[in-house]
Amino acid sequence: MSCSVPAGKRVAIAGTGTRALCFAKGILHRVSEYSQLVALYDLNPQRIKGFKYLLKNESIPEYTDFEAMVKEARPTHLLVCVPDCAHPQLIEMGFSHGLEVVTEKPMAMNREGIRRILQAERKYGKKVCVTFNMRFSPYSEAIRKLMLDHPIGKITNVTAEWFLDRTHGQEYFHRWHAKMSNGGGLLVHKATHHFDLLNWFLDDEPESVYATGARKVFGDANPFFGERCSNCPHANKCWAVLKSTLEDGDLNPGSDGEIFEKLYFEAEKLDGYHRDGCCFARDIDIYDTMNAVIRYKSGVMVNYSENAYSPWQGYNVVFNGDAGRIEVGTVDASTRPGNFRGEDYIRILHGTTRQNITMEELPFREVMSPHGGGDYALYDQIFGKGGADPLGLMADSRAGAASALVGITANESIASGKVEKIGLAELF
C-alpha cells in the first residue's frame, strides 16, 4: 500500500509533545515543498504555545477544538501524536471528517483499540498509516534486503536482545508511560518497534507468546521515592533525578534546551500532568525487565528480551537457519564509551559444520541523523516526494496490529502465566 502524501497536502498534528516536535520540524524544514503544516491540536493550549516557541514559528494556527480545526484549517491529513490510549479515538475522528490519518506507533495499546481502528477503516473506507521509523534506517533496510534473499536457508529460530541505557530508560518511568493504562508498558509502547522489525525481517506473522516481566530497578524495586523530582527530598542523592534539559538524542534530537519548560512545566497548571514524576513511585505498574518466547506462523521461535537500564543502548539479533546463521548488532553512538572502536555489523555464516563454514562480514557505520537516519527517510516517504517502496517500508493497520499485539499478548501472558494466542487472523 501507499500512504505517502502527494504535493500540496495540508497536515494537522494532534498532540504537541516531543515526538510531534520532530515531525513538525521535518514538515517545516525538510518537506515543505510537498506538505504544509496547517494546524496544531492539543487539549492544553499552553503546550501548543510552548510547541510553537520551540519551532520558532508563531504563525501556525492552534486549536483545542477538533471540529473547529477541521472547519477552519481545512487539513487533508491528520498526524496523531497523542498518548497511546487516545490513538483509536483520534484516528476515528480523523476518518469521520474525511481525513487521511498517519499515526505514531503503537497503533493502539490494547485489543479494544485495534478493533475500533479496524472498524473505523471499514466504515469510512480509509487506511491508517503507522510510522515505524526504525524500518527506515539504512541499517534496517540492509538487514531486510539480506533476509529477503534467504542466504542461510529456512529460518528456524531467532534470539533478539534490545537494551535501553538508563538515560533513555528512566524517561519512561518519569512520564505518563509509567502506567499500563496509558500505553501498555514498554512491551507495547517501546517494543512495538522491535516486534515490527522482527515481523518485517522474517516476513512472517506472530501466533502466540509466553512472557515474563518484572521491575528490577524502577518503581517499587527502589527503597526511596518521592512525588516528583522538583520537590523530592532525595533529589541530591538520586541518580535518576530529572535534569533541566533532555539529553536523550532519541527523545530530543534537536537538543532543545527549553523543551521541558515550554512543553510541560509551563503547561502543567492546566492539566496537572507532571513530566518529572518519580520513577520509583509505588503506583508504577509497567516492567523494566521483560522476556518473551514468540511463535510465528512458519514455526520460527523467537527468544526476545528487553531491559531499560543497560549501560549502553542498542540491540543484538541472531537468525539461525538450516544453512547458516546471520548476526546483527548495533550500539547507539551517544552511549558508546570513548575507547569503543567497533562498528555496527552484519555477519553472515554460511555452512552447516566446522569443516565447511565460511564467514562474510559487512561493517556498517552508523548514520548520525535522528534515529539512525530513520526519521529523515520517514518524513521524505510519507510527507515528502515519496516514491517506490520495494522493501515494504510503509506500514498499514495489519502491520501496526501485528506488532502491537505481540506486546499486548505478552502482557496477557505475564498476567496469566500461560502461553497466549495473538489472534491476528481473527481481526482481519
Average per-residue pLDDT for the chain: 93
The residues with which 390 forms a beta bridge, in sequence order, are: none
**97-134 pLDDT, tens digit each:** 999 999 999 999 999 999 999 999 999 999 999 999 99
- What would the grid cell of residue 365 be? 557505520
Cα–Cα distances (Å) from 135 to 51, 305, 327, 371, 389, in that order, read: 27, 20, 18, 10, 12
Task: Supply 335's cell numbers.
Answer: 552511549
Query: Hey, what domains does the chain have and what are their CATH numbers?
Result: 137-219+284-367+397-427 (3.30.360.10)
Cell numbers standing for residue 426 = 481473527
Task: Render pLDDT for 192-208 as a digit per residue (tens, 0 to 9).
Answer: 999 999 999 999 999 99
- Nearest residue to 24 via CA among 383, 360, 317: 383
Q: What is the mean pLDDT of residues 148-168?
A: 96
Of residues 246 and 215, more confidence is placed in 215
Alpha-carbon distance of 270 to 291, in angstroms, equals: 39
pLDDT on residue 33: 94
pLDDT tens per residue across span 367-419 = 666 677 789 999 999 999 988 999 999 999 999 999 999 999 999 999 999 99
> For residue 316, what are the β-bridge partners?
161, 329
Q: Tens digits of per-residue pLDDT, 255-300?
A: 677 889 999 999 999 999 999 999 999 999 999 999 999 999 999 9
